Structure 1
Amino acid sequence: MGILSIIMLLSTLICGWWIRSTGEGDIHFHMQLGIWTVVVTCITIVFFFIKR
């Protein structure tokens, strides 16, 4: 789960850099990616605290 969170965070950063540099892209896709990154990160944090 942690690896998935890191991969999604990196994907969001790359998409953000792409939008900044080119001004192109589907904003809806990037927003969905960002939302899922936050959700997966929160789930990872919850699992981390449960496992402790």
Structure 2
Amino acid sequence: MRNTLIRKQNITPEKAIKILSESGINIDKKDAQEVLDIMYFLAKLIVRQNFKK
């Protein structure tokens, strides 16, 4: 999925791991990147659907 979506990501996998670990969720770097990819994809989709021209 990452190759099809070219964009600037402000949250790095390392930062996501830190944020999630503070909530008791432990994931590795690969899983963190997949979570971020899905979140950015959904955010982009929601913006497109709600703010169509």
TM-score w.r.t. length of structure 1: 0.51
* Residues 17 and 32 in structure 2, CA contact (< 8 A), matched pair in contact too: yes
2:41 to 36, 39, 42: 39
* C-alpha distance after superposition, 1:1-52 (max 9, x if no partner): xxxxxxxxxxxx874321x7xxx641100010001100000000000013x7
Quote the Cα distance in structure 2 between the aligned partners of 1:49 and 1:43: 10
Identity score, percent: 6
More helix by share: 1
Measure the CA separation in 2 of the matches of 1:27 and 1:49.
33
RMSD of the TM alignment (CA)?
3.2
Gaps of 5+ in 1: 1-12
Structure 1 stretches of 4+ moved >4 Å: none
